[in-house]
Amino acid sequence: MTKTRPVFTIGVSTKMYFSYEKTLGYARAVAGLASSNPLVAGGLVELFVIPGYPAIPAVVEILAPSGVRVGAQDVSTDDSGALTGEVSAPMLGEIGCTLVEVGHAERRRLFGETEEVVQRKTAAALRNGLTPVLCVGEAARGSAAVAADEVIRQLRSALADAPAGSSVIVAYEPQWAIGAPEPAPAEHIIPVCTAVREALESDRRLADLRVIYGGSAGPGLLTVLAGAVDGLFLGRFAHDPAALGSILDEAAALL
């Protein structure tokens, strides 16, 4: 039977806000939301959660029956070696991750990740069968045209070593919108995401491409952006399971 391609992809990263026990409680609540939602159960809405490393195996066990995918917030550039503190893509796959966040603005800004590092991490994820949630976005607020050029440049760099058959989720997150009171305006997001899709759709290596928006995303935004994006990448707003449920209800209304 052919698997239904999701119309919307909704993701949540818990960053480093939750304790271990709070993460498990959150996962149980999300499992309940997903199991009771016919769109998630039917595959029209894909949901993923990216918890802290130590909680991944337990979160996988909790979420697996509901079909919610689990990812990691980072990945090593290498598959093995003397790299103290790093976690490899093969190990992440072994414990049940199917995707991994790569190149988030905080990793770039706080930990000095260069474009070469992002490229190598993207390649590591793809060669090990993990879908990279590839975070891209311009640093300073400006025109949509300039932002689109910068984001496309970042993507082409990150995907330089992508093999044929790659599945990629592009998370457009303008750095100036992350943690802001409001997301970027729709008149900025829509042309940027449209340009990204047009630039990458001709890349024959990409078997599955989804473009989602992050950066202070919240309720009502999916409705405004529907048709221009494939979903949302949520942060603190969705750390309340009821708030996440409201986004799923919004997706249901659109479908």
147-163 pLDDT, tens digit per residue, is: 999 999 999 999 999 99
What is the Cα 106 distance to its own chain's centre?
14
Q: How far apart are CA 180 and CA 112, in angstroms?
A: 22
Residue 173 a catalytic site member: yes
Q: Calculate ∠ Cα 35-38-40, nearest 5°.
A: 65
Average pLDDT for residues 110-129, to the nearest whole number? Answer: 98
Architecture of domain 8-254: Alpha-Beta Barrel (3.20)
- Residue 4 is predicted with a pLDDT of 72
pLDDT band of 239, cuts 50, 70, 90: very high
- Residues 232 and 10: beta-carbon distance below 8 Å: yes
**pLDDT tens readout for residues 1-27:** 345 789 999 999 999 999 999 999 999
Residue 59 pLDDT > 60: yes
**pLDDT tens readout for residues 89-99:** 999 999 999 99
Structure token pair of residue 130: 């993990």
Average pLDDT for residues 191-198, to the nearest whole number? Answer: 98
Residue 239 CB partners (closer than 8 Å, separation 6+): 12, 14, 17, 18, 26
Structure token pair of residue 68: 């919610």
What does pLDDT average to over the chain?
96
Choosing from 46, 101, 104, 250, which is the catalytic residue? 104
Choosing from 113, 173, 188, 250, which is the catalytic residue? 173
- Residue 5 is predicted with a pLDDT of 86
